[in-house]
Structure 1
């Protein structure tokens, strides 16, 4: 769930100096685009710039990458420091600024990192850079993606004689695209050489004629996963393309002055001060290509899949709630839970306080409140019960930090409900994945208020399966829903079903990914959602909580009604959108069964 941002200025820098009072117009927009997507990655950030038409001997690509939660601020502080060291004469003169100042360029590519592989270090922070003596073979790459067939891609490259220095999917993407770019440039050279003898003219013609879509298409055909990839070539061409299932999002805005790309629509709306209808969504399987001369064109890289799988969990959890459609969807998710919530409290509205677990669940809370009021026709009691002291999501922290953080994330508003087991307390969250925060922090803290009953509501369905397309949830035993189903099977004497799923999974361990079936779904089949929810509540309730605890989950049907255009629900259903997902969940279950769940 990384964040990407790309800016291409379509006018010379002195145009922006004259109109907006600064040649830094593009750089300022990049800062806004990155800062507004800070929610998509807190592990690091990077920014790269390409300067057009720089003379030989002068640097034309600049890059700054930083690890940590404050990476965006550090990057721009470094850039500003370098600029502040320039003389006033250089700073006021656009031509001298472009010549002497590092990030005075026309093309920018920014990235917010959210790791899903456990790998860390500055070398894994985007943008990645593949340098070459020819500008048209120099490639800068950043993206929001996960590939599920890294081993296949690695083997493919090594069989061609390449020596990738890492098995990370970003490294392999860079080498794959770089190889095909070299091939495409060579092909153009062989054609143009027959017509021209001047090498400088030949180079210019190659850059003009270079078929960006062709080298992307030849690389991308082997990829299995979800991705939005942005790239810049050293001579000034740039591109962004999206996977054919539409798993990862991408939006763009084009005017006669600028082309902007980002992972989220409201980010562009705010940064560019434009209406939502001015912003378009890049279509699945499509590439937007911006040539050096500013020409923008769209080409199909791979035909969009008949059944798209736009990620629904991204809508529920990661995306900014300020998007008009996401806001409506999250409200609908809350509203659709009104009836099961009323059932959980025996319709006792008078003696129930409603709240939310900050902060991403607040919009769903408004929908829940509206749904309950519409059903009961009476006002409900609303309080700010929980306060989040640390702005950190524990389920995207590293494992060794997560347990400790979970006990300190929340505090409670004392006096928000009547003590002495008088009031029920209903709190809605956007998702319950591992249950760590509930067990180690939230339920214990809520218990201090002495409620009659605690009802925890999840606006998303039960997360039952690992994700391999962008969220760091890769091991079966991490999910409280899976652990609950396993316990129910054991308690009901159905260990044989667990064994059978293992043996069927093991039997297809060496099959091609296209032939692998997700048999892990059978673990859940004997039980209703309510039965699993009840078991989860039992498992997550600490021994010192002395009131009943009930969990209410969204249904998959309710999810699809609220988010009809985002049908990718593999976290909840096990219906993976690509063959690589089935292969990896098969491996995850084998690892769990064999006691290697931490590998």
Structure 2
């Protein structure tokens, strides 16, 4: 999960891209990058950290131009601590191309081997985004074959990318001296939309909130398998480049990832979470009688709409029992279990009066590893709660996600291979209520009947691309464990053999 944005305008775009990335900061906190174009030259700055830390006044002054793109990174492939793997990525041929990517390629290893042995291209990082860039660049070179670039050449290259690449990918690329390209994988797993400014400028972004928050008018989502090419003079060209596209967006975007004020693929994220609260209320009634619950308390932030709707339907008081420190990042997207566990109590603090002597129903958007839930339940008990019930607006996360969410190993998932009662015992709550998979799909899908379905693989184990095997999951698990070991090695002064503290 990353956040991407691209703009073609008649005015300088560095501040505009910066502002859009701030609105997408929730999609990635590991690194940020911006590239702009002036004439035929690219200007780039990228580094580890959040947007406000990566870009200073001197950096912004070094990003001239009226077109550009940017990304906030949340690593799902490669090294989380490597600045070289921050995006955008650049290749100088053909033409000069820079690219940002949200998603995860499931055949990146095979593609990397092809690039070396057949396409004669060198990949210098472990990032699948660099693989994707080089695949596109190679196919663009084949399509043009030395001729001046035309939109049809770009679309032919995208069609070739669809034939070679597997997995999820929402992409924005800038071709030096020619224009801005946006395209989405044939299943539309990761979101991508477009809008227009009052001056006719065109913007692409992961979520509609990035458009609206910068004064752009949301026009539509990029369709699965579609490519949109905007020349530097603002001319727009579109083509469906995939053979059999079908819209199956990741349902976890609506459960947790996206901002509630965004609209993705025609679905209001906020309304989707209200609907999830409504269906969850029915599950609560069948498990815990409402008269045994004194108060409903959300675990901020994503669960609030679901908790409010649930409380209203059950006729129970809704209260804020946890205060969030907004200057601590989202624990779900922090690399490293030790960092994630340490941050829970730094991120949340209890309002003791809402817990003391009460039976509380805590509502969370989802339960992935269970470590955060266990800590929060204990915090409620420490604050004096008589009983602590836990409800999840999402079903049990039982399977790895391979399309760009950081939950790729079975061993890390508290629900894998366990019953609800076993999970309840681990978390330490008095009752545990999960959303139903079918009810979740109906609650969200009813908001846009034109959808072909969802990728809900982390809940039901059905991978919409149809190319994921048990062997693939095992390989990805091994790669993740190796990457975690590599990240831990020499990543801080505490790992140096002669380190001293000050």
Task: Place the TM-score, normalised by the shorter chain, in its bin.
Answer: 0.7 to 0.9
**Pairwise mapping of residues 444-593 of structure 1 onto structure 2 (< 5 A)?**
444-484=378-418, 532-541=419-428, 549-564=430-445, 565=451, 567-583=454-470, 586-587=473-474
Pair 1:33–1:209, CA change in 2 (3 A): closer
Question: Paired residue for 1:259, among 192, 196, 202?
Answer: 202
Structure 1 residue 475 displacement after superposition? 0.8
Structure 1 residue 337 displacement after superposition? 1.4
The answer to whether residue 25 in structure 2 is matched with residue 38 in structure 1 is yes
2:167·2:465 contact (CA, 8 Å) conserved in 1?
Answer: yes
* TM-score, reference length from structure 2: 0.87
Q: Any stretches of 5+ residues in structure 2 without a counterpart?
A: 446-450, 486-502
Question: Paired residue for 2:170, among 206, 221, 228?
Answer: 228
Size of the aligned set, in residue pairs, is: 469
Q: Any stretches of 5+ residues in structure 1 without a counterpart?
A: 14-23, 55-59, 83-101, 189-205, 374-379, 485-531, 542-547
Match of 2:415, SS?
helix
* TM-score, reference length from structure 1: 0.74
How much is the aligned-residue C-alpha RMSD, in angstroms? 2.5
Pair 1:114–1:345, CA change in 2 (3 A): same
Structure 1 residue 76 displacement after superposition? 4.7
- Which segment drifts farther, 452-461 or 167-176? 167-176
2:6·2:172 contact (CA, 8 Å) conserved in 1?
Answer: yes
2:48·2:54 contact (CA, 8 Å) conserved in 1?
Answer: no
1:477·1:483 contact (CA, 8 Å) conserved in 2?
Answer: no
Q: Distance in 2 between matches of 1:219 and 1:159?
A: 18
**Pairwise mapping of residues 144-543 of structure 1 onto structure 2 (< 5 A)?**
144-160=102-118, 161-188=120-147, 206-207=148-149, 211-254=153-196, 257-272=200-215, 274=217, 278-306=218-246, 308-323=247-262, 325-348=268-291, 352-373=294-315, 380-389=316-325, 391-399=328-336, 400-419=338-357, 423-439=358-374, 441-484=375-418, 532-541=419-428
Match of 2:403, SS?
coil
Q: Distance in 2 between matches of 1:123 and 1:476?
A: 29
Q: Distance in 2 between matches of 1:437 and 1:207?
A: 52
Q: Distance in 1 between matches of 2:231 and 2:281?
A: 52
- Residues 340-368 of structure 1 deviation map (CA, whole Å, 9 limit, x = unaligned): 3234432316x511110111111111221
Match of 1:404, SS?
helix
Q: Distance in 1 between matches of 2:475 and 2:312?
A: 40
Q: Which structure dedicates a bigger proportion of its chain to strand? A: 2
Q: Which structure dedicates a bigger proportion of its chain to helix? A: 1
Q: Distance in 2 between matches of 1:392 and 1:292?
A: 37
Q: Distance in 2 between matches of 1:186 and 1:6?
A: 27
- Residues 119-178 of structure 1 deviation map (CA, whole Å, 9 limit, x = unaligned): 13111011111125xxx6211111102100112112222221333334431221122222
